[in-house]
Chains A and B, each alone.
Chain A
Amino acid sequence: MAIEGAAARPALPTGAVRSARQDLLALLNRWGWVKVLLFLMPACLLLMVYLVIPIVMLIVMSFYRSTLFGVVPDFSWNNYLHFLRNPMFPNLLLRSIRLAVTVTAISLLVSYPFAYFLARGTRRFRTTLLILVMVPFWTSYLIRTMSWLPILGIKGLVNYSLMTLQLVESPVEAFLFNQFSVVLTLIHIYLPYMVVPIYLSLDRLDGRLLEAASDLGATPLRTFWHVTLPLSLPGVVGGIVMVFIAAFGAYVTPKLLGGSSGIMFGNVLADQYSGTFNWPFGAVLALIMIAVVLGLLVVASRFARLDAVFGARA
């Protein structure tokens, strides 16, 4: 089979008819940035409205004054001073940070072996196991918070078991409506936030690296310490960041399960917008919360490239 010779070849179009579509594509090819701008515009607009301008509003509001007759535009540092002067607020902040750190630490300790089990353990049921981890992840944290009430309460599962086993005589109240229940529930709710990033980074780990370490004389323990752990660090850092932010910013869980001793920063913040109606002061609290979170990010970025952790591709 021979293909027809030169005479039958179509000539390259010179004065060919150019449609609007061709013009558009030629334009976009020539000025690449137009396409980028066009595609990013919706996201930019959205984030302006969702993130940038609201935070600006927070900053502006934090300088306003709250009077008996409502909020008055002003520029005063009163609200910030109010936060610092009353020891209750800084204490609350520190307590909330402490609780969040506790939740994060315990969550890390619990999650790491679990993620390891998922990543390097069985292969057969891997998908099923992963689905089972994800189902709570996809269920509202409201429901998951609520689900601890029938377990920790005086008529709950724990007390029931204790009494049935005759370990105690009357129901123990200390399981619910305090810091313990808040921490426990937060750990439970945000466990997938820690498991998933660590699992992903362990899963990505090339098994041949472990074989190489073993070949070079490292015992399993030393292989873990020198190879596995450092390489899973991005996942660990990612998990820590996600869990801390979620725990520190908690509102529902402490309100529902915290009683009076388990109140967290978020609850007082929210109160400024319902009970007390002190919007400027609430803005200050919100900004402080954001500042703490950003501070954590700065620290964490020294240990791992956060962009990669959150899935960005540069």
Chain B
Amino acid sequence: MTDARARWFLRGYGTAVYIFLYTPIVMLIVLSFNDTNSITLPWGGFTLRWYRALAENQSLFVSLKNSLTLGLITALLSTVIGALAAFAFRSRFRGQVAAMRVLLLPFVIPGLTIGVALLLLFHALGVRPGLLTTTLVAHVGFTLPYVFVLISTRLHRFDESLEEAAMDLGADEITTFWQVTFPLIRPGIVGSALFAFTLSFDEFIRTLFTIGNDNTLPIQIWSTLGSMVSPELNAIATLIVAASFALVIVGELLRRRER
């Protein structure tokens, strides 16, 4: 196969994959304007009534507020804890490799088993499940390895001679951090926090087992799916996709600024 043909094949293939990736999402968006009572075809005409219904859905707003609050606090805690850990790993110490493996373990333990295990733990401790108690623990634990890896990578790429130069010029370790290190890795840290927020916002399975009577947005969507299936769901989904899109763009802009 010639080079040009190979390239065209790859391009066609790539396009096909994108179509595969986006058809369901596009359907979702289109159907959110569908003027029928089911979340599927046929097309009944263009309408905005599902969005209007969303705007009047009080419980939805409560869930949204819960998700946002939880997301922000998770992002904050997770980023601080993860950043501290990433800085710790700059030095060499005994048991470093083992510690790193433990830190990365949550990546590979299925969320369902974590959720179940946390349920057992909190039940045994007699802790009542709550949004900012048990669920928060689940979310921060879940997002921690992601934040840790992201910040670790940034730190690894960071030029240490800049810190040495600052110390050489009279700045002690704390001053060096604030004057040189932090300003230069700040975009990376903010990006990691943003990612942690998104992970927490979308998190479902661990939340299912650790949340009590409160609702996060995914939890509410899930229970809605179980009972009444209407294009209102499509509307929520569309809005969430739009928000994700915006967040990805922001994250990318941050990454650009860092260069």
Contacts and interface: CB of A to CB of B under 8 A. Distances in A.
Given A43-B82, A43-B148, A143-B241, A150 B104 contact: no
Contacts of B248: 131, 134-135, 138
Contacts, number: 254
Interface string A279-291: 1001100110110
A55 B117 contact: yes
A143 B252 CA distance: 23
Contact of A116 (B10, B31, B116, B124): B10
Interface string A106-148: 0000100110111001100001010111111011111110111
A70 to B, nearest CB: 12
Interface residues of A, number: 89
Contact of A21 (B41, B106, B113, B174): B174
B118 A252 contact: no
A258 interface: no
A40 to B, nearest CB: 5
A303 interface: no
A58 interface: yes
A237 interface: no
B204 A50 contact: no
A46 interface: yes
Contacts of A113: 10, 13
B215 interface: no
A273 to B, nearest CB: 6
A72 interface: no
B24 A286 contact: no
Interface in B126-149: 137-138, 140-142, 144, 148-149
B17 A150 contact: no
Nearest to A297: B108
A287 B113 CA distance: 8
B47 interface: no
B25 A49 contact: no
The main secondary structure of chain A at its interface with chain B is: helix
The main secondary structure of chain B at its interface with chain A is: helix
B104 A286 contact: no
A136 B11 contact: no
Given A46-B140, A188-B24, A141 B202 contact: yes
A311 B146 CA distance: 10
Given A148-B24, A188-B20, A312-B152, A155 B237 contact: no
Given A49-B137, A58-B113, A297-B108, A139 B27 contact: no
Interface of A: 21-22, 25, 28-29, 32-33, 35-36, 39-40, 42-43, 46-47, 49-51, 53-55, 57-58, 61, 110, 113-114, 116-118, 121-122, 127, 129, 131-136, 138-144, 146-151, 153, 155-157, 160, 188, 191, 220, 241, 245-246, 248-249, 251-252, 256, 266, 269-270, 273, 279, 282-283, 286-287, 289-290, 293-294, 297, 307, 310-314
17 contacts: A29-B173, A32-B93, A43-B84, A51-B102, A54-B120, A55-B117, A131-B248, A135-B241, A149-B40, A155-B38, A157-B27, A249-B113, A252-B204, A269-B112, A289-B110, A310-B149, A313-B156
Given A283-B116, A307-B104, 8 more contacts: A39-B88, A47-B103, A54-B118, A139-B240, A249-B113, A252-B222, A290-B113, A297-B108
Interface of B: 3, 6-7, 10-11, 13-14, 17-18, 20-25, 27-28, 31, 38-42, 80-82, 84-85, 87-89, 91, 93, 96-97, 99-114, 116-121, 124, 137-138, 140-142, 144, 148-150, 152-153, 156, 172-174, 198, 201-202, 204-205, 209, 218, 221-222, 225, 233, 237, 240-241, 244-245, 247-249, 252
